[in-house]
Structure 1
Amino acid sequence: MKQAFHKSQEHLFALAGNPNCGKTTLFNAITGARQHVGNYPGITVEKKEGFYSLDGRQIRLVDLPGTYSLTAYSLEELVARDFLVHERPEVVINIVDASNLDRNLYLTVQLMELGVPVVVALNMMDVAEGRGLRIHAEELSKRLGVPVVPTVARRGEGKENLLRVAVEMAQSERHWEPLHVSYGPDVDPVLKDMEKIIGEHGFLTDLYPARWTALKYLEEDEQVKAKGRQANATVSEHLEALAAKLTEHLQKTLDSYPEAIIADHRYGFIAALLKDGVVEQRLKGNRMHLSDQIDRVLTNRFFGPIVMVAVLYAVYEFTFTYSELPVQWFEAAFAALGRWAEQAIPEGPLRSLLVSGIIDGVGGVMGFVPLIFFMFLAIAFLEDTGYLARAAYMLDRVFRVFGLHGSSFMAFIISGGIAGGCAVPGVLATRTLRTSRERLATLLTAPFMNCGAKVPVLAMLIAAFFTENRAQMLFLLTLLAWVFALVLAKIIRLTILRGPSSPFLLELPPYRIPTFKGLMIHTWERIFQYIRKAGTVIVAISVLLWALMTYPGLSASEKAAFDVERQAVLETLSEHHKDLLTSEQKTDLPPQVQEAREQLRAIDKREAATALQSSLAGRMGTALEKITRWCGFDWRTNVALVGGFAAKEVIISTLGTAYSLGELDTEENTSLSERLRQDPHWNPLVAFAAMVFIMLYSPCFVTVTCIVKESGSWKWGVFSMVFNTTVAFIVATAVYQAGRLLGLGS
């Protein structure tokens, strides 16, 4: 089967490799900002594509999901294999960890058995050298029969040479040539018989080499078997019968299964490859690697948790310390934009829409971009250094107590376990969990974490009422999120999802020093998603909520009543004083004029507040007060929380719009935090109850949709909304009522 060029002067290459082999680091080093992140069609697995120009040739590079094999045990493995088979890249660049060659070459062997043209990137050579390993790349290349190029992805070393070698292979139009590995006297004869049957009937040969298809039948690969039944049920049944016969024979003679024998022989093939002259151990004795030395402290039963809490607290101190000034700049910029719009646009619905609906609404969300940037930067640093994997390892013992799994930790972290993640990829991360019970329990409780959408809302309330203890308060809220998630997971596992926990296996990657470029790319990917959401979803919802908070407006009789009040104030003034009243002069005014100005301003405020409360949104919020008064929430807060069902950032934009519409004093442009602080209804107790409610109540609509998709049933999406909101209401009510009993409501 020949390779075909996809476009003139353009090559399609795929990057494949194990998790933690430096694959994505190499992808970022090659493509930089020239990359696109999306999803594979019809599924939610992330797809990364990037571009690179080399000697006038355009290279399209696809970063496949990290996988240990090409047997479809997980969706990531399935996606990687289907891309190779259906898209047929001209070259697969297989990144292997030079410090763990025997394990990483397992995927290499499978790629070669599939027949794809492979170039091996021998990555992390610096780590291998640090462990006293010297790898002879030329000898390894000779034995494998494919090019082997040493690289250090985090420093960008070897990337151009790697691409040149890949381009040379693509230009040679190399055929797909499957590698044949011997699997011993029991398996090889059966493989030969199956291969003959497959070849005679052209069974799936348009997709896979005959021997590879036979191997998949022996490995009980459900996807290949399903395709086989659709293509030719008779041949598929024959192959399944041969596989079952071999399985029975191996169980009787070796107490084993075909997939285990196949894996053993692959590792044996790899061991033979690496013998005598490929890997040289230069340091003798039981020298402990640096990563192992660090792990003796960071994963210690006593010191590990202390360090983890300290790291978490340091993230918040870093975030708030360095984001404070940029946040003020952003707030000032949007305030100036609002003042300009008020002066440039005549009074009316259009000005109200732009100032109150868009600038004040979206500006409140965008104002926290610096804070989110520093939060994501800190999390990217922890991910890239390899520390988060250690945290998962340590917390497995804790998670088991609550009926979860160590892999649940990553879903929690991605959802915002350190604050600043997103529940959507967090829910998707539950795919790594093997049992449906643990998976459901995790995806139902992961949304309790403080995602990147909640952080700005919490930060705004903290800035208003807990100025002196901002990092400590967010740290406390993070701990509370973990406590509630774990306790509620335990309740779920003891009631509706009973069953034992499955064993936890995790590879701990070596510690690495992140590159500045890599950190910036990882941070920008997340920031861009936040900004795009603010510029699309938040704008649309802000405009909708502005309309709901503006119309139907006051009736003619209500407007007339306020006009009568104004006229009564004006009648107390002389004509000269009336002229002073409308002038721009602010100081040295007669007492009568100053008093009249204050009275008229108070009337304007009451009219705006009445109009807002009479709007459709105001009526809905007021109706909900019968319930939410137990939590201390007024009708404005209710409207914002209802908007938060769509997206949590909307809470800020809705409050910004509500207080902008209700505050007509254009002489003072204050931030939303300041407006809340000045509102007599709000106080630290109400703010804390609101933060707890926001932290716990229903996931956003996108997350609920994702829960439905991942669980396969709408009932779990509805359960998540109802269960989470009920828990949030009970806890927020308990906080508010207990606070009032203790005299904290002032």
Structure 2
Amino acid sequence: MNQFALVGNPNTGKTSLFNTLTRSYETVGNWSGVTVEKRVGTLRGRGGRLIDLPGLYSLLPLTPDEGVAARFLMEETPSSILNIVDASQLERNLYLTIQLLECGRPMLIGLNMVDVARSRNIAVDAGALQRELGVPVVPIVARKGTGCAEVLHALGGLEASRSGGFRIDYGPAVEAGAARLAALLSSGGTASASDPRWTALQLLEGNEAVRASLPAAVRPAEVDSILEQTAEELESSGLESDIPSYLRRIRTERIAQICRSALDRSGQRLHTATERIDAIVTHRILGIPLFLALMFLIFKLTFDWLGSLLSDVLDGFISGSLSGAISTALTWLGASPFTHALVVDGIVGGVGGVLVFLPQICILFLLISFIEDSGYMARITLLMDRTMEAVGLSGKAFIPFIIGFGCNVPAIMAARTMEQRKDRLLTTMLVPLMSCSARLPVYALFAGVFFASNRALVVMGLYLLGMVLALALAKLFSRTLLKSEPSLFIVELPPYRMPQPLSLLRMTWEKVKGFLRKAGTIILAGSIIIWFLSNTGPGGVGVDMNESFLASIGGALAGLLKPIGFGTWQAGAALITGFMAKEVVVSTMNIIYQVPDMAGLEHQVAMAFTPLQAFSFIAFILLYIPCLATVGVIRKETASWRWTFFSMGYSLVLAYIVALIIYQGGRLVGLV
């Protein structure tokens, strides 16, 4: 099956085009760093596989996600390359385009965001660009699907052609060096899917990923000898001796020549709407207060104004109509009392107790997706750069932190976009402190019971608590465990745009789908296990819950939890099962307290906790051991059990210390 590589700079619309061409759906964001590994889809209507590679500015991989793209082009054999470029940022995008053209593979250029360029009065002549580059150029607007049919049609005509019409003459010294390297590679058998000249140029440019892929027959000493000889010849010609700098200069000059032919900026607006908005939202004094005000508004909509009302409606349906219908059906089928209790009290009660918070999760994800797709999220990373740098982190770390509000697993994977290993590792260790959606049901339950008039403020406070502690620990860890030089932070600010409703709904659905998937798997399995443990014990089946296995397990922790305010076996059992997924904490309580609906659970929780104990409990839930899926991805990304166990251990200790301060400090000042 033919393979087509989709390659381009970050935030040029690659994933939007991928979704349209394959009729699949991958996460799309109006900010860089969304794609962190290659994604595969089948081209609609014509077959063939389309490979969406992570965004990169050049074929010199600086980060692990860029390495994915570079290795794919070197080690695999795409039939053709689909290079997507941003028409409004043509000069910058063409550097990667030139490197791709030198691969010698059949190539098509998708000239994306022509609508954005037009709005800025930037005129790009696609025909002139096509003549300059020697490959087909198709203008498109990927997010709207404009021109995508033409791209599919053009891909079909690429298979018999090659992009051999474009070539840069780098001068006698470099060309001679490239020829010597190409001869050496040909004699040793290169591992690259592209021609020897391209591989030689990449070696001259200092691409370590290409060098690492060379076959054993090519001796490093011979490569180094040719590189040194080329540098000497370049210097003796009266040019600079640094080959990579020389190559960049020659390519930049060729790009300027191409743009003089294909690009007209004479009518470009000097002050766009984006710049006028940025003057306010990225203001060094007003920027962060505006962001906090926006987040407070989001939490008010989610927990006070709309979300709680919809959750009450869903709770009435699950505990009333649905539960009653299932109970009637079981009776009609002649189910035993044991089966009836398992299904109604265990499965419906456990899973339904979590699903009632689905409206609040949907609203929160919808609003966050709106912020992401509008382009505002990139501005937040810029605002936070100074703060992140002060604690020893790259400004890019704020992107995984924000993604962590949805789920910690993709957030940790997003740390791949960071150049330094120290930054990636430090971010991976701290992302679990972000309040993911799995914690929302716990927050919503306890905030609704004990802090009804200030629910939004309390939940927002928990989000900020996780962020503040993450920054404090970043400062500590960067000075002790993970010392390194300061990192450079470069962020691209995309233009603001109004998110399209369909795209917004898809983004929200992809986030909600993960929650529903857990409800149908982990939470379902957890509810069944919890129900069995709560109804069985040393005395057999149907024992009093206080004599059950679950009570014994939770009771083992009760003594340790007493100093932080919730030293009961019920709380201990909920924390243990919460390691599977944080939503299971609510499922466990629903089963333990044997309540028919959310009102009943709220009543039982109000009797079991005081407001001070409740706040200590949810702060502990925020910080203690990451869920099982997060632990798994930490192990995968760090490739180290030592760092994995460190992440679990420090978060547990931190949770205990913070909860102890909250509870004992509250008691000292007279709070109950």
CA distance in 2, matches of 1:548, 1:260: 67
CA distance in 2, matches of 1:672, 1:147: 66
The match for 1:652 among 586, 602, 607 is: 586
CA distance in 2, matches of 1:275, 1:342: 75
Instruction: Say whether the 8 Å CA contact 2:121–2:265 is kept in structure 1.
Output: yes
Paired residue for 1:183?
170
Residues 369-415 of structure 1 deviation map (CA, whole Å, 9 limit, x = unaligned): 22222211111111111111111111110112212110111111111
**3-state secondary structure, aligned to 1:114:** coil
CA distance in 2, matches of 1:669, 1:453: 20
Instruction: Say whether the 8 Å CA contact 1:35–1:48 is kept in structure 2.
Output: no
Q: By how many angstroms is 1:93 displaced? A: 2.2
Paired residue for 2:32?
none
- Indicate yes or no: 2:477 matched with 1:492: yes
Please tell me the residue identity of whatever aligns with 2:179.
Answer: K
Per mean C-alpha deviation after superposition, the further-off stretch among 341-350 and 367-376 is: 341-350
Given the superposition, is the C-alpha separation of residues 639 and 249 from structure 1 closer, same or farther in structure 2, using an over 3 Å criterion? farther
Q: By how many angstroms is 1:131 displaced? A: 1.8
Q: By how many angstroms is 1:12 displaced? A: 4.4
Residues 565-613 of structure 1 deviation map (CA, whole Å, 9 limit, x = unaligned): xxxxxxxxxxxxxxxxxxxxxxxxxxxxxxxxxxxxxxxxxxx8x7212
The match for 2:529 among 519, 540, 544 is: 544
Q: By how many angstroms is 1:48 displaced? A: 3.3
The match for 1:636 among 559, 562, 570 is: 570
Instruction: Say whether the 8 Å CA contact 2:62–2:419 is kept in structure 1.
Output: no
Q: TM-score, normalised by structure 2?
A: 0.92
Instruction: Say whether the 8 Å CA contact 2:74–2:191 is kept in structure 1.
Output: no
Residues 492-531 of structure 1 deviation map (CA, whole Å, 9 limit, x = unaligned): 2222223442221112112222111221222121111221
Q: By how many angstroms is 1:250 displaced? A: 6.0
Paired residue for 1:369?
358
Given the superposition, is the C-alpha separation of residues 462 and 204 from structure 1 closer, same or farther in structure 2, using an over 3 Å criterion? same
CA distance in 1, matches of 2:270, 2:95: 26
Residues 101-154 of structure 1 deviation map (CA, whole Å, 9 limit, x = unaligned): 011111211211112222111111121122221111111111111111111223
Instruction: Say whether the 8 Å CA contact 1:151–1:159 is kept in structure 2.
Output: yes
The match for 1:304 among 287, 301, 314 is: 287
Q: By how many angstroms is 1:256 displaced? A: 5.3
Please tell me the residue identity of whatever aligns with 1:281.
Answer: R
Paired residue for 1:683?
610
Q: By how many angstroms is 1:31 displaced? A: 4.3
Given the superposition, is the C-alpha separation of residues 26 and 671 from structure 1 closer, same or farther in structure 2, using an over 3 Å criterion? farther
**3-state secondary structure, aligned to 1:496:** coil
The match for 1:434 among 416, 419, 427 is: 419
Please tell me the residue identity of whatever aligns with 1:652.
Answer: V
The match for 1:225 among 211, 224, 238 is: 211
CA distance in 2, matches of 1:626, 1:114: 66
The match for 2:97 among 99, 102, 108 is: 108
Q: By how many angstroms is 1:238 displaced? A: 1.5
**3-state secondary structure, aligned to 2:168:** coil
The match for 1:693 among 620, 636, 652 is: 620
Matches within 5 A, 1:200-599: 200-204=187-191, 207-230=193-216, 232-234=217-219, 236-247=220-231, 257-276=242-261, 278-283=262-267, 287-320=270-303, 321-336=305-320, 337-343=322-328, 344-345=330-331, 346=335, 348-416=337-405, 421-552=406-537, 554=539
- Indicate yes or no: 2:14 matched with 1:28: no
Q: Higher relative contact order at CA 8 Å, sep ≥6: structure 1 or structure 2? A: 2
Q: By how many angstroms is 1:695 displaced? A: 0.6
Given the superposition, is the C-alpha separation of residues 148 and 353 from structure 1 closer, same or farther in structure 2, using an over 3 Å criterion? same
Greater radius of gyration (CA): 1
CA distance in 2, matches of 1:80, 1:374: 35
Q: TM-score, normalised by structure 1?
A: 0.83
Instruction: Say whether the 8 Å CA contact 2:184–2:218 is kept in structure 1.
Output: no
Given the superposition, is the C-alpha separation of residues 80 and 496 from structure 1 closer, same or farther in structure 2, using an over 3 Å criterion? closer
Please tell me the residue identity of whatever aligns with 2:604.
Answer: L
Paired residue for 1:13?
4
Instruction: Say whether the 8 Å CA contact 1:360–1:653 is kept in structure 2.
Output: yes
Instruction: Say whether the 8 Å CA contact 2:188–2:215 is kept in structure 1.
Output: no
Given the superposition, is the C-alpha separation of residues 673 and 17 from structure 1 closer, same or farther in structure 2, using an over 3 Å criterion? farther
Instruction: Say whether the 8 Å CA contact 1:36–1:49 is kept in structure 2.
Output: no
- Indicate yes or no: 2:151 matched with 1:162: yes
5+ unaligned residues in a row in structure 1: which ranges? 1-5, 38-43, 557-607
Identity of aligned residues (%): 37
Residues 37-70 of structure 1 deviation map (CA, whole Å, 9 limit, x = unaligned): 8xxxxxx94443445544xx34643322212122
**3-state secondary structure, aligned to 1:488:** helix
Instruction: Say whether the 8 Å CA contact 1:464–1:676 is kept in structure 2.
Output: no
Given the superposition, is the C-alpha separation of residues 500 and 176 from structure 1 closer, same or farther in structure 2, using an over 3 Å criterion? closer
**3-state secondary structure, aligned to 2:213:** helix
Instruction: Say whether the 8 Å CA contact 1:115–1:178 is kept in structure 2.
Output: no
Paired residue for 1:567?
none
CA distance in 2, matches of 1:535, 1:178: 55
Residues 517-562 of structure 1 deviation map (CA, whole Å, 9 limit, x = unaligned): 2212221211112211221122222222222222126579xxxxxx
Q: By how many angstroms is 1:216 displaced? A: 2.2
Please tell me the residue identity of whatever aligns with 1:642.
Answer: I
Per mean C-alpha deviation after superposition, the further-off stretch among 615-624 and 345-354 is: 345-354
Per mean C-alpha deviation after superposition, the further-off stretch among 313-322 and 481-490 is: 313-322
CA distance in 2, matches of 1:612, 1:670: 20
**3-state secondary structure, aligned to 2:85:** strand
CA distance in 2, matches of 1:366, 1:12: 41
Instruction: Say whether the 8 Å CA contact 2:401–2:434 is kept in structure 1.
Output: yes
5+ unaligned residues in a row in structure 2: which ranges? 28-34
**3-state secondary structure, aligned to 1:630:** helix
- Indicate yes or no: 2:182 matched with 1:195: yes
Please tell me the residue identity of whatever aligns with 1:325.
Answer: L
Per mean C-alpha deviation after superposition, the further-off stretch among 427-436 and 386-395 is: 427-436
What RMSD over aligned residues (CA atoms) do the two structures have, in Å?
A: 2.5
Q: By how many angstroms is 1:249 displaced? A: 6.3
**3-state secondary structure, aligned to 1:146:** coil
The match for 2:659 among 726, 729, 732 is: 732
CA distance in 1, matches of 2:77, 2:469: 47
- Indicate yes or no: 2:76 matched with 1:76: no
The match for 1:48 among 39, 42, 55 is: 39
The match for 1:720 among 641, 647, 655 is: 647
CA distance in 1, matches of 2:175, 2:402: 46
Please tell me the residue identity of whatever aligns with 2:14.
Answer: K
Given the superposition, is the C-alpha separation of residues 245 and 699 from structure 1 closer, same or farther in structure 2, using an over 3 Å criterion? farther
Please tell me the residue identity of whatever aligns with 1:193.
Answer: R
- Indicate yes or no: 2:81 matched with 1:92: yes
CA distance in 2, matches of 1:244, 1:676: 77
Residues 419-477 of structure 1 deviation map (CA, whole Å, 9 limit, x = unaligned): xx111122222223333333322211111010111122212221222222222211111
CA distance in 2, matches of 1:250, 1:644: 64
Given the superposition, is the C-alpha separation of residues 251 and 353 from structure 1 closer, same or farther in structure 2, using an over 3 Å criterion? farther
**3-state secondary structure, aligned to 1:88:** coil
Given the superposition, is the C-alpha separation of residues 174 and 202 from structure 1 closer, same or farther in structure 2, using an over 3 Å criterion? same
CA distance in 1, matches of 2:206, 2:591: 58
Given the superposition, is the C-alpha separation of residues 95 and 357 from structure 1 closer, same or farther in structure 2, using an over 3 Å criterion? same
Residues 663-693 of structure 1 deviation map (CA, whole Å, 9 limit, x = unaligned): 5xxxx54446424344x22222221111100
